[in-house]
A and B are shown apart, each in its own frame.
Chain A
């Protein structure tokens, strides 16, 4: 719509509109990508800390309590960066995407408000109890506060996924006479099948991040021969949780999500796979560069029939390509969608491979001496962050050019009276702020890792003034 009207305008104004839209997209993309680096670890670690506390409670082994305290320190730093970078997310629907916010607020405002009311109060209160209350609460009370923090963070994730899933696959809505979307079934909104599949896939991804981070710390302490016993504990928990979550990431969660997507967003799947032309017995492209102009994949490395099999369970099935999609409804930028998906899938495969080997060595009792497995366990921790980010980019670019799939175009959603100059100003501001935040975050995490998990080293010299203790 905007594209057609824009063509009639003078070049300067046309450029301004395109730039404002593009900058608003980059604005949200940058801030949300940065933000999600933190909650993915928070949500995953929340679960692992509950596991550590549970083992401590059942076995009476104090080392597990010590480990829980250590990871709670990392958790807290992460949590707080997640909080402060999360507040801008809720504001940006209004600041940069006000047209979208206006029409969709009656639907997606609901889960967003519920996140604040049901998750953030819970998380903040029980994190305080968990961090400060270990001496005052009973062992069960302290375990329960860890559980509540975990539940709070996972509820938060659920409401965000419900919000996103409605944009991906709008259900249970109607359009009021003034053009506003309204929920017709609250239950239908919360049980959107897309949301349930996406949630399972996403949360398993969060556990992968936490498992890899825990393994990396464990492998580091073990190979460095500092706190080796804690290192072994981290590796044991990290490898088992990592193996389970890495497998679950592909089967069943990734598989089911992909099939559901193929049914409801065929354009996205065609773009992800780089399938320009519909094909019977479609092959899967492992590598290659999409060439949008020529509508081919350059330098392709293809395995025949596999795509048809993955989606439809038979090698002969026909998979719809981008040729079935009107040109103005192609996801864009198409090459980024293709790369994001391939990076996610490629890394996911590597994770299963690494964790299978690690889990096998752990089971045979050889992991702690097998340095050629410990090395990749230590070095691989950034990769789940990349894979989770790439997965979200796949979902969000795959949805384009729609902000609400099939209902509202992204180009009709941005704030039309916020100029490109103002968007760029705040985008640069966020880039600067987040650079400083990153440096401070790394300094704090480094200090926590440097002091290590043992109780003697971690006793603070003075009482902590606030939530973070390093």
Chain B
């Protein structure tokens, strides 16, 4: 049961990163790709009808985490207190900027919300990457299962870590670049002409940078967390993870050069998903490791809810996911095609 729920929660978080990831990427690229008010409008419109549904994955995933692993939810959410609160404010700011940007025909109004859109998207990407890095690195868990981390201390990975240190900042930068590439490849699918050309070249250049960062992340992770390869050594089949990551990066580069935008975007989805799955394999069966004493680790067994909860949960979860998949197919079919600025239309 613990195994199943570990991966179900992981799947929901992967879905969140894939879907909201391109929303964030569009926000990160917004000031760099769009050169005119019209292009800015098109960029926002490309995510306009879907960002809100994409964000639901965060809520649904968070709720599922809460009921399947209450101890993890309680410990992590209170321990990363300040970072989580900042994430909440950034989510509010980003939603406001997407929705309010076009409401007024006032230049400074639009410039202001352009800036909010960019800054909040960028910081969210960095915080998400840093969050994952914190989970991999481990936190100073106490005997009662709780901890509290300040935002930063001395930026070192040591006995007194902060949420931000060199390793989690590296995680943040990787997430920033990865989501920017993801957003660029999404824009290459959803836009035409100049914007599409620029998005493709950003995707290509970004893929190179991303490959470099991915290579750096491996020794960094082993330095911070020497035991993170244990599962990989124990299960040789897991070697597919690094292989797929390399193939996905090559695919991004190859397909965006060939202007096969859909395939390039698909490769980016594979890259993000397998990176996250790779981190999850490294963690399993821990949910939140301790930075000092592995006896304090929050493991699946320690945090798992009671059996009845989880059995019933499996039934409604499966039903809910089928429904969610149907809604997503309907909504993405309806808004398929290139984004234009004609009134009363969306896409084609």
The interface size bin for chain B is 35 or more
- Considering the complex, give the chain B residue whose CB is closest to the CB of A432: B89
Extra contacts besides A98-B78, A183-B306 (19): CB < 8 Å: A84-B91, A85-B92, A87-B55, A94-B76, A102-B73, A105-B69, A106-B309, A110-B312, A116-B56, A120-B59, A121-B53, A121-B327, A129-B330, A417-B147, A433-B89, A463-B340, A463-B345, A466-B49, A470-B103
- Considering the complex, give the chain A residue whose CB is closest to the CB of B66: A109
CA distance A99 to B146 in the complex (A): 9
Q: Which 8 pairs from chain A and chain B are nearest by CB?
A: A105-B70, A94-B77, A109-B67, A182-B306, A113-B63, A116-B60, A117-B320, A125-B327
Are the C-beta atoms of A132 and B343 separated by less than 8 Å? Answer: no
B residues 302-337 with Cβ under 8 Å of A? 305-309, 312-313, 316-317, 320-321, 323-324, 327-328, 330-331, 334-335
- Considering the complex, give the chain A residue whose CB is closest to the CB of B50: A128
CA distance A426 to B77 in the complex (A): 14
Which of the segments B40-48, B125-133, B177-185 contacts the partner chain? B40-48
Known: A94-B74, A117-B320, A466-B98. A87 touches B328 (CB 8 A): no
Are the C-beta atoms of B78 and A96 separated by less than 8 Å? Answer: yes
CA distance A125 to B323 in the complex (A): 11
A80 within 8 A of B: yes
Known: A117-B316, A124-B52, A444-B100. A98 touches B309 (CB 8 A): no
Q: Mark B48-90, 1 if CB is under 8 A from A, else 0.
A: 1111110110111111101111110111111101101100110
Q: Which residues of B contact A99 (CB under 8 A)?
A: 74
Q: 24 pairs across A/B with beta carbons < 8 Å?
A: A87-B59, A87-B88, A87-B92, A95-B78, A95-B85, A101-B70, A101-B73, A109-B309, A117-B60, A118-B316, A120-B56, A121-B56, A132-B335, A136-B334, A182-B308, A415-B81, A422-B81, A422-B82, A425-B82, A440-B96, A461-B343, A463-B45, A466-B44, A468-B100
Are the C-beta atoms of B343 and A183 separated by less than 8 Å? Answer: no
Partner of A84, one of B56, B69, B96, B340: B96
Are the C-beta atoms of A109 and B305 separated by less than 8 Å? Answer: yes
Known: A128-B50, A433-B89, A467-B52. A183 touches B308 (CB 8 A): yes
A residues 26-65 with Cβ under 8 Å of B? none
- Considering the complex, give the chain A residue whose CB is closest to the CB of B326: A125
B148 within 8 A of A: yes
The interface size bin for chain A is 35 or more
Across chains A and B, the number of contacting residue pairs, with CB separation under 8 Å, is: 251
CA distance A94 to B83 in the complex (A): 13
B166 within 8 A of A: no
Known: A84-B96, A94-B78. A182 touches B309 (CB 8 A): yes
Binding site for A on B (CB under 8 A): 41, 44-45, 48-53, 55-56, 58-64, 66-71, 73-79, 81-82, 84-85, 88-89, 91-92, 95-96, 98-103, 142, 145-148, 305-309, 312-313, 316-317, 320-321, 323-324, 327-328, 330-331, 334-335, 340-346
Are the C-beta atoms of B66 and A101 separated by less than 8 Å? Answer: yes
From A118, A422, A463, residue with most partner B Cβ within 10 Å: A463
Are the C-beta atoms of B330 and A90 separated by less than 8 Å? Answer: no
Are the C-beta atoms of A114 and B316 separated by less than 8 Å? Answer: yes
Q: Mark A323-338, 1 if CB is under 8 A from B, else 0.
A: 0000000000000000
Q: Mark A445-457, 1 if CB is under 8 A from B, else 0.
A: 0010000000000
Q: Which residues of A contact B142 (CB under 8 A)?
A: 417
Partner of A465, one of B44, B147, B148: B44
Partner of B317, one of A117, A136, A459: A117
CA distance A125 to B330 in the complex (A): 8
Q: Which residues of A contact B96 (CB under 8 A)?
A: 84, 437, 440
Are the C-beta atoms of B74 and A429 separated by less than 8 Å? Answer: no
Q: Mark A199-216, 1 if CB is under 8 A from B, else 0.
A: 000000000000000000
Q: Which residues of A contact B69 (CB under 8 A)?
A: 105
A133 within 8 A of B: yes
A364 within 8 A of B: no
Interface SS of chain B: helix, strand, loop or mixed?
helix
Partner of A90, one of B52, B63, B68, B327: B63
Binding site for B on A (CB under 8 A): 80, 83-85, 87-88, 90-91, 93-96, 98-99, 101-110, 112-118, 120-122, 124-129, 131-133, 135-136, 176, 180, 182-184, 186, 415-419, 422, 425-426, 429, 433, 437, 440, 444, 447, 459-468, 470
Known: A186-B312, A426-B85. A433 touches B70 (CB 8 A): no
Q: Which residues of B contact A470 (CB under 8 A)?
A: 103
Are the C-beta atoms of B99 and A80 separated by less than 8 Å? Answer: yes
Are the C-beta atoms of A112 and B148 separated by less than 8 Å? Answer: no
Are the C-beta atoms of A91 and B77 separated by less than 8 Å? Answer: yes
Partner of A110, one of B48, B67, B331: B67
CA distance A115 to B316 in the complex (A): 11
Q: Which residues of A contact B60 (CB under 8 A)?
A: 113, 116-117, 120-121
Shortest beta-carbon distance from A144 to chain B in Å: 12
Are the C-beta atoms of A467 and B103 separated by less than 8 Å? Answer: no
Q: Which residues of A contact B66 (CB under 8 A)?
A: 90, 93-94, 101, 105, 109, 112-113
CA distance A447 to B104 in the complex (A): 10
Are the C-beta atoms of A106 and B62 separated by less than 8 Å? Answer: no
Are the C-beta atoms of A463 and B344 separated by less than 8 Å? Answer: yes
Are the C-beta atoms of A113 and B64 separated by less than 8 Å? Answer: yes
Are the C-beta atoms of A183 and B346 separated by less than 8 Å? Answer: no
Are the C-beta atoms of A121 and B324 separated by less than 8 Å? Answer: yes
Partner of B323, one of A88, A96, A122, A462: A122
Q: Which residues of A contact B81 (CB under 8 A)?
A: 95, 415, 418, 422, 426
From B70, B95, B147, B313, residue with most partner A Cβ within 10 Å: B70
Shortest beta-carbon distance from B9 to chain A in Å: 10
Are the C-beta atoms of B70 and A106 separated by less than 8 Å? Answer: yes
- Considering the complex, give the chain A residue whose CB is closest to the CB of B149: A417
Known: A118-B320, A415-B78. A109 touches B63 (CB 8 A): yes
CA distance A426 to B330 in the complex (A): 39
Shortest beta-carbon distance from B89 to chain A in Å: 6
From A93, A106, A108, A417, residue with most partner B Cβ within 10 Å: A106
Are the C-beta atoms of B53 and A116 separated by less than 8 Å? Answer: no
Partner of A433, one of B92, B145, B146: B92
Q: Which residues of B contact A186 (CB under 8 A)?
A: 308, 312
Q: Which residues of B contact A426 (CB under 8 A)?
A: 81-82, 85
CA distance A101 to B84 in the complex (A): 16
Are the C-beta atoms of A116 and B63 separated by less than 8 Å? Answer: yes
Known: A80-B95, A444-B100. A183 touches B89 (CB 8 A): no
Are the C-beta atoms of B41 and A465 separated by less than 8 Å? Answer: yes
Q: Which residues of A contact B328 (CB under 8 A)?
A: 121, 125
Are the C-beta atoms of A465 and B101 separated by less than 8 Å? Answer: yes
CA distance A450 to B210 in the complex (A): 49
Shortest beta-carbon distance from A261 to chain B in Å: 27
